Amino acid sequence: MDFFAAEQRAKKRTARLLVLFGFAVAGTVAVGYLASVVLIYAANAKESLRYGYGEAPPLEFWQPGLFAAVAAATLAVIALASLYKWTQYGGGGAAVAESVGGRRVDPHTTDPHEHQLLNVVEEMAIASGIPVPAVYILDDEAAINAFAAGHTTSDAVVTVTRGTLQKLSRDELQGVIGHEFSHILNGDMRMNLRVSAIIFGILVIGLAGRATLWGMRYGRIGSSRGKGGGGVVLILAIGLALLVVGYAGYFFGKLIQASVSRQREFLADASSVQFTRNPAGITGALKKIGGYAIGSNLDTHRASEISHFFFAQAFESNFGGLWATHPPLVERIRAIEPEFDGKYFEPPQTVDVAKEPWSKVPHMPARAPAPAPQAAAAFAAALAAAGTLTPAARDGARAILDAIPAPVRAAARSPHDAPVLVFGLLLDQDDGVRARQTAAVASREGADALLTLRALEPFLRQLDPAHRLPVLQLALPSLKALESSALGTFEATLDELVKASGKVTTFDFALHRLVLRELSASRDPSASVAQIYSFQAVVPEISVVLSSLAHASSDSAQEAARAFAEGAAQLKLVEGSLSLLAGGQCGLAQLDAALDKLEGASGPIKQRLLVASAHVVGADGVVLAAEAELLRAIAASLNVPVPPVSALAA
């Protein structure tokens, strides 16, 4: 799967979906207009007969003024209601999970099922190069189901039901989570949120009508001669009209939603199989859903408006399956296992995690670092694997996680210890600088933080330099869970540690930028970035990025110029406009500003820039750990998830 092609497909799907919903809204306006015409005609006819004006006036179907008023009112209601729902989702994936009763998994959980779930999610996040999503559980749901939600990979969460944990084996759980990661990487999550907001906007009109009718349930409808009887009838008529109008639009909106959702499920299933190399994982989960009395049906109707988020059909489909958000189970299974005989099987009461193998796929041992000439090729492979789940990255992620000392992994999962762990990653090799850094931690964070840092130091010294950013990935969910006050102190301490030596290294820059970017994105996940579609508009910024990488890759001016030229040659449209900048013009401060602007560049610009960047650092056939970390930081700044080079090194 090509990440950039998938990104373009997601944008096209979104545009097509919005057009289809536009038709649903237009239909809602049309039905509302016709209802208004009929109501006004009926009221006028009644008045004419009541006061003896003779025959009722003729019915005029086209009334431009009335149409404009109805259209404006309908669009205003839908827009305001959709905006309200979008604002509710402003907190990102966590807000969605908590709105349906999700409980965030305690990183120090002693529940073996929950511990296994955290391991699976961490493994997939490292393999795909995205921040580890927060994990939630729907404790009261015995069904087998799951969903991913969020605006971007920075605020994504993965949520599973209690039934999923208890009924599925590790391989089956991995198949389900792989399916959800496919939705995260394919850009489906943001579109799902938009769909929910628009459908809610259309539904509000029907809800207003239902509320009107419900509010009149104790009223008595008098005759036309009774005092106020005509007013009651009019209110009931308006309520009924709103109900019909709203639910007519809602019907077609749900129809469109279901149709689009079904198309994406096959792709997510296929991506999961490709990643796990174990078709029996996801098909086993689907077969258990089919053989389970409860299946994938949820109890809480709070989740009805996000039913298209889920792994499997969350609620019974109405209208003969027209509203089904997922293909039938048998079709999904046969798409992976063509010889499926249609027989499902009942899951056990609870899977014994202690007896679960790590995986049926042979576990590859940790590998030695790749020889220098292969390192450049490894980063090219990492870039090619951007935004995907590949078997090679999966095996590499397992090796990385196995190599990270247990106390470091435990600290990464703890909101109390994760900030100190990040401080530890920044500790300098120079004793004097290190002493100033530890003093800063003690001064700003307190004695307890210093004790934790001292306890982690021996394990951090054992850490492979290539594994430092994966450790940061593991720690990000805990950092995002910090209170605002603690977060402010953490960011101030982080800034002081980075500047302690008087010279910011490429790793310091990479870590500092990644942390601040992810924390900022988690605080305002719905923020949009202006799109830049012209290479010419970002020529200065591209020059800064390539120049910075060229100088970082070699101390030789001649070698830096050669590396820059090799990268610039990958950008034919602007090659002649690019120029190698002096070191003072492309330092880390300038690189930081350039990446801020390039974040808003279109997919093709980002793709070519990353290819050019890879050529710059690989010009000498060697990609050092510091260079790989800087490249990953650049890619992450562009919202392009790239797996660790060490996870793909041969």
Residues with catalytic roles:
180
* Amino acid identity for residue 98 in this structure: E
Place of tokens 């149709």: 259
Q: How many CB atoms lie within 10 A of CB 319?
A: 11
| Beta strands per DSSP E along 557-626 | none
Structure-token pair, residue 210: 């239902």
Q: For the chain, what is the radius of gyration of the CA atoms?
A: 29
- Give the angle 209-215-221 at the CA atoms, nearest 5°: 100
Q: What does the buried/exposed string (b/e) look like for 548-567 if buried means 16 or more CB atoms within 10 Å of the residue's CB? A: bbbbbbbeeeeebebbbbbb
CA–CA–CA angle 501, 543, 4 (5° rounding)? 100
For the chain, how many residues are written? 650
Residue 437: which of 476, 495, 506, 507 has the closest Cα?
495
The strand pairing partners of 339, in sequence order, are: none
Query: Six-digit token pair at 431?
Result: 């004793």
Q: What is the DSSP track for 519-551?
A: HHHHHSTT-----B--GGGGHHHHHHHHHHHHH
The CA distance from 387 to 393, in Å, is 11
Q: CA–CA separation, 194 vs 150, rounded Å?
A: 11
> Residue 401's CB: how many other CB atoms inside 10 A?
19
CA atoms lying within 13 Å on the CB side of residue 139: 7
- With contact defined as beta carbons under 8 Å apart, do 164 and 296 qualify? no
- Which amino acid does the sequence have at 175? G
Cβ atoms 567, 612 nearer than 8 A: yes
Q: For residue 573, give the nearest of 614, 607, 530, 616 by alpha carbon.
A: 607
The residues pairing with 136 across neighbouring beta strands, listed in sequence order, are: 104, 159
CA dist., res. 42 & res. 205, Å (int): 22
